[in-house]
Structure 1
Amino acid sequence: MTGLLLDVAAPVRAGRPARARRAGLWWLLPPVVVLLGFFGYPLVLVAVQSFTSKSGELTLSVWGEVLGSAEFRDAAGPTVLLALGSAAGCLLLGTFLALAVAFVPFPGARGLARVVDTLPAFPSFLIALAFTFLYGSAGLLGAGGFLYSPWGVLLAEVTFYTPFVMRPALAAFGQVPAAQLEVAASLGARPGRVLRQVVLPEARPALASGTCLVLLLTVNEFGIVAFLGAKGVSTLPVLIYGKAIVTFDFPAASVVAVVDVVLSLVLYAGHRRAVGGGRRAAVDQA
């Protein structure tokens, strides 16, 4: 009798997860519709507009004109170079500050970490405004030529985006077992060797994730570049603004926007891969 009851109850239990999954799919429908309406639909419109001429005809000529123009090349090059330079600068500075806060006991270490953490809470153009008061022509240091050059934009972006590398690095350094550091020190390893062979390998996934995130954010940075108005510095977001708002050339602006979206998706995929690699490494260590 007991076996018969178990055989009868088994299909009932098997049917419950299926009904639960179907109910969960219904609950997912409203947010998916909202996401498609507010994000997917405008993105499709931009993609369609990029293949539409000013006269309203579907054509590929807009892509050829935009991608072959010197204006696009002059914007794409600085966009990539500034993003790479900012990512490298944030990686170096963020790693150094995280190491100093995590392993070098000095007064004000926690205060420094909190100050750095508060930077992303402000709009990026405020960094450019602060740099204007410091390095502008009428600023404290009066290095106006430097501020309005690509190096000024690079310095402003590194200053603003360093916390995006420093915070994950601090979290990773905090998870390094103290026993490993003690064993390495007891075996006579110098601090530099401990840093290279023990500390940095543990934090490599976090550093890679933070660096990819900085790349993604700096590729789409608009406020710093537009506020500083650096001479000879044009990026893809600034070019989109100029085409759409200044000259009302919406097809050309849509082409640049699609290129920027594709580049952002590639960088986002790299960021997700770095995050996934860090999680897998943590699971393997556990």
Structure 2
Amino acid sequence: MASNPALQAVPTRSALRNDRPQRLRPLLWTLPPTAALALFFLYPLALVVQQSFRPDSGGTSVRPYADVFASEAFRNALWTTVWLAVASTVGCLVLGFLLALVIAFVPFPGAKAVARFIDVFLSFPSFLITLALLFIYGSVGMANGVWTDVTGAAEGPFQFLTTPWGVLLAEITYFTPFVMRPLLAAFSQLDTAQLEAASSLGARAPRIVRQVILPEALPALAAGGSLVLVLCLNEFGIVLFTGAKGVTTLPMLVYSKAILESDYPGACVVAVVNVLISVGLYGLYRVVSRRAGA
């Protein structure tokens, strides 16, 4: 008697019972990292959000948000944070693209060593770069010391590190390798036959860069630029170590309200706003990169 193929295709109860542990195994593996993420990140973040609705007078209210949004200090910090982040990102994109072009396409001794040094540079803390700039351009740094020794002046002319321009210089110096790294990876995969063909047809270097190299580099520029923008929005160490007077960003405002003023609800409100801006920019980047096929 021939067996029914339809009945053979139906899994038996024992087969389903044996297959259940295999389906549950991936879920069990994800539980420990999910629990750790919830404990060490999501739970503190939830506490910050909760505290932002708890004014000092007690109870639950949106009054801390109204007070912070109405303050001139918050508006100035928001504007300073945005323009510094945007200006630093633009500077990093321009400088990073030019330096990556030189390293990738201009042969010179030590090009590979420079490319490897960029990987090491990414591990440096931001305050270390700021301290290096202070040693060079600080009020008692080397540049001002040479100037006073030569001219006999009481002080040197380099006093910009304690201004917003000093913060901008420090951020561009520190974050430019974050743009160069994906660019160098993209340039290493570029077909050199296209460059040779364009050169043989009489195209000069600026045209080759504009029409051949730049289109291939756009996804890497978008990735590096978006990363730098988010990092600059949340940068704290550079602003603190430059000692720039009058430069108060959102992270500095959180520090000021929490440590100096003991205004914890206000500090939590600013922190929530900073997180929302960062997450929103990251979501926008994901949408744009997906549409661009990056």
Q: How does 1:45-56 map to 2 (within 5 A)?
A: 45-56=47-58
Q: How does 1:81-120 map to 2 (within 5 A)?
A: 81-120=83-122
Q: How does 1:1-286 map to 2 (within 5 A)?
A: 4=4, 8=8, 11=11, 20-142=22-144, 143-273=157-287, 276=290, 280=293
Q: Which amino acid aligns with 2:268?
A: S
TM (normalized to structure 2)?
Answer: 0.88
Q: SS at 2:96's partner residue?
A: helix
Following the alignment from structure 1 to structure 2, what is the Cα–Cα distance between the partners of residues 43 and 268?
18
Residue deviations 1:238-270 (CA, integer Å, cap 9, x gap)? 110111111111000000000000011012224
Q: Report the Cα offset of residue 6 of structure 1.
A: 8.5
Q: Report the Cα offset of residue 119 of structure 1.
A: 2.1
The match for 1:284 is: none
Q: Which amino acid aligns with 2:29?
A: W
Change (3 A) 1:151 1:23: same
Following the alignment from structure 1 to structure 2, what is the Cα–Cα distance between the partners of residues 3 and 189?
73
Following the alignment from structure 1 to structure 2, what is the Cα–Cα distance between the partners of residues 262 and 206?
25
Q: Report the Cα offset of residue 224 of structure 1.
A: 0.6
Which structure 2 segments of 5+ residues have no match?
A: 145-156
Following the alignment from structure 1 to structure 2, what is the Cα–Cα distance between the partners of residues 85 and 98?
20
Following the alignment from structure 1 to structure 2, what is the Cα–Cα distance between the partners of residues 133 and 228?
11
Following the alignment from structure 1 to structure 2, what is the Cα–Cα distance between the partners of residues 275 and 106?
34
Q: Report the Cα offset of residue 62 of structure 1.
A: 1.0
Moved more, 22-31 or 170-179: 22-31
Following the alignment from structure 1 to structure 2, what is the Cα–Cα distance between the partners of residues 46 and 80?
23
Which structure 1 segments of 5+ residues have no match?
A: 282-286
RMSD (Å), alpha carbons? 2.3
Higher Rg of the two aligned structures: 2
Change (3 A) 1:3 1:170: farther
Q: Which amino acid aligns with 2:213?
A: V
Change (3 A) 1:140 1:54: same
Following the alignment from structure 1 to structure 2, what is the Cα–Cα distance between the partners of residues 120 and 269?
24
Q: SS at 2:59's partner residue?
A: coil
Residue deviations 1:173-223 (CA, integer Å, cap 9, x gap)? 111112222222222222211111111101100111100000010111000
Contact in 2 for aligned 1:205/1:277 (Cα 8 Å): no
Contact in 2 for aligned 1:213/1:271 (Cα 8 Å): no
Q: SS at 2:142's partner residue?
A: coil
Moved more, 35-44 or 178-187: 178-187
% identical equivalent positions: 53
